[in-house]
Structure 1
Amino acid sequence: MANTVSAYKEKMKEMSVLSLICSCFTTQPHTNSIYQYGADMEVKPINKRLSGQSFEVILKAPADLSPDRPQLLAPHPKRKDISVDELQKRLEAAEDRRKSQEAQVLRQLAEKRDHEREVLHRALVENNKFSRLAEEKLNHKMEARKENREAHLMALKQRLREKEKHAAEVRRNKELQAELSG
């Protein structure tokens, strides 16, 4: 088992990265056909090794490219001489664009500031409305408690009066009973 693992490690060190990638995609050997990728590259498989597939990548020189294919590096057209008047017009146009952009940015900032003011105003109105409602609720609760206390005091006074009447009646009955028995 140890020999197999060490042999596998040695083979992995010998494998090229391209061979490793290609061997992952397919296990079947390809025929000796040449694959063309565009007009500037060919890939040709080489006889299979013990480590997997191997390929030869052939890059063609730019001179080998077909004449109907556009060149990758086309020469830039020469710039024409620009007059002072043309430069002045371009500078003025650039200044106008800069001023227009600056005005647009200022308009956007003003709109943003106005929007923020509006949001702040709405928040203040909502806050005042909430505070007023909270104060009204508190006053209502305080009045209800005051009324409850007054009603409780009135009930206590009424019970006290009834007890005093009852006590006066009991005293009178005792006096009458004392006179009658005495």
Structure 2
Amino acid sequence: MRVGPPTTGTPDCPFWDRLHDVRQLVQGLVGNQRISVMATFDQLVASRRRWIDQELAPWCRAAARADLVKAADEWLDIAGKVDAESTLWTWAWSRFPVLVCDDMPGVNETNPVRLVLVDGQQVSGYPDARAGGPGRLVVIDTEDPPATHGPISIDEILSVEELEETGA
């Protein structure tokens, strides 16, 4: 009588042949990728934090407005119970560091800025993200405060620089 599992290829145990085939299939599908399983809650939290820092936030900084709007609609499923304004849109606008403040979510609307648009046009003034809607800015003109520019899509902005306040 044999002890332990029969060797592959034995005519009296097709189960082990099947198991070997399944292992080869899985290895072929997975290849050299490492599959990790979280054993503890702390590992799960660390893994999610890495995903947010290395995948989600960088994606938000680079994504087109149309994709950001889609993500905002599904934000609860993507990011959990967090406000899209304090995460998704803050990360998206952080592609222009002048527009964000580490201590506040959303666009920093307290300093005048100059936007250079992809078409070469330049717009100066105070940014107003609330008036523009998701992924858009309205800029309140610094020279003529009743005048506004926009809404300007995040995709239309090439660069942003902070302007010095002229004072009253």
Higher relative contact order (CA 8 A, sep 6+): 2
* Higher-strand-fraction structure: 2
TM-score by length of 2: 0.22
* Higher-helix-fraction structure: 1
